[in-house]
Amino acid sequence: MGTDHDMNRPLDEAQPEGAQPEGARPLDGITVIDLSRVLAGPLCGQMLADHGADVIKVEPPNGDDTRTWGPPFLPDGSGAYFSGLNRSKHNVSLDLRTDAGIEVLETLLADADVLVENFKAGTLAKWGLTDDVIAERYPRLVHCRITGFGTDGPLGGAPGYDAVLQAYGALMSVNGEAAGPPTRVGVPIVDMMTGYLSFSGILLALRERDRSGRGQLVDATLLDSAIAMLHPHSANLLNGGTEPVRMGSAHSNVAPYDVYDVADGQFFLAVGNDRQFRSFAGLIGLPELADDPRFLTNADRVQNYPELKEILADKLKALDRETLGKDLLSLGVPGGPVHLVSQALDDPQVRHRGMVIEDGDYRGIGNPVKLGRTPAGFRWAPRAKGADTRAVLERHGFDEERIERLTETGAAITADTADD
């Protein structure tokens, strides 16, 4: 499967300077139809595209909601939110509420390896594409379905949103200060984790297809992702522990593992074992702490953490965070300054790892999955809605007359008709 064209460039543009040749990435030759919108699905699609897959993003006539999420907005009017999740994809705009739009989609699926979608449960079935129909009509297709709670069970079919699942899945209950209310994690962590897990599931299904020749359903839910992230609280509770409580930045099983005020900001200390604690105590000029019966072992330190925190807070407040971080790391003791987003994105090690992409007018975050011989890479910036509709349809056998009929009826939207 897979369409026959150079997948390292937009369909209507020359290959960018420095682009890797076809076949250089692990997913070259894999075609993905990305019907998803907002975050989890688009992130999954972008991960696949970074690693070489030919991803065709299909947007509705009014576009992905995140095109309007801002400010800030990019010069083309799209929200920065959208830009961060949709690079290196071809863009087709179809009205799937029409029979003609569904016919186009079915043509695309016939030549695809992967379908990624996060429609409300039952939407594809309403359009005649039930799970059984997809499996029978496209036997090699890997179908990644992303939902909030799944499609069956007591909450099957219920809509899901990141913050709601942070609450429902108990992440909020363990996040925040002890005396404060449950707090949402400051990034859409459930959506993002679901995107990464969907990416992994698709790769597993493609690998299994190499043996069986058959595709299968990758059933990803926000609920499963939220519950999977409850470690170590879930492990503690399931094995005789009590209901977890909020501890701010502290850890239920390890001490000292917390944020501290220092002379020039804040510093996170993560002492993971007794050897590290002895090294740390010596470095800050309190070697006697390592032999104090209250703090002799990690279990002792967890039990007596309020007393330990008071001692450390008084000592650390006079220290410089950058110097402290370097000195601790030289001793093999984890710790580091608490950075602002701007500081993290400008950090030399972050830049060295290629986690900030700056290419022409594009600014984005790099792919965290690093392969030594066939690395992921930036291919092109997010495309305008419908920018590749005409080219994709032509490559799938649609003649000019049929394309004109689709655009005239509004079943397909091209770049020149997107705002009509």
What are residue 80's DSSP bridge partners?
Answer: none
Pairwise CA distance, residues 229 & 41, whole Å:
19
Pairwise CA distance, residues 361 & 344, whole Å:
21
The residues that are catalytic are 191
Pairwise CA distance, residues 277 & 270, whole Å:
10
CB 91 within 8 A of CB 13: no
User: What size, in residues, is the chain?
Assistant: 420
With 0-12 CB in 10 A as exposed, 13-18 as middle and 19+ as buried, what is 401? Answer: exposed
CB 386 within 8 A of CB 395: no
Strand order in the sheet with 54-59: 217-221, 142-147, 114-117, 31-34, 54-59, 89-94, 412-413
DSSP conformation letters of 159-181: ---HHHHHHHTTTGGGSS-TTS-
DSSP conformation letters of 74-95: -TTS-BHHHHTT-TTEEEEEE-
User: Phi and psi dihedrals of 217, rounded to 5?
Assistant: -85, 130
CB 126 within 8 A of CB 157: no
**Residue 190: Cβ within 10 Å count:** 32
User: Phi and psi dihedrals of 357, rounded to 5?
Assistant: -100, 130
Pairwise CA distance, residues 88 & 91, whole Å:
10
Pairwise CA distance, residues 352 & 364, whole Å:
15
Pairwise CA distance, residues 183 & 173, whole Å:
7
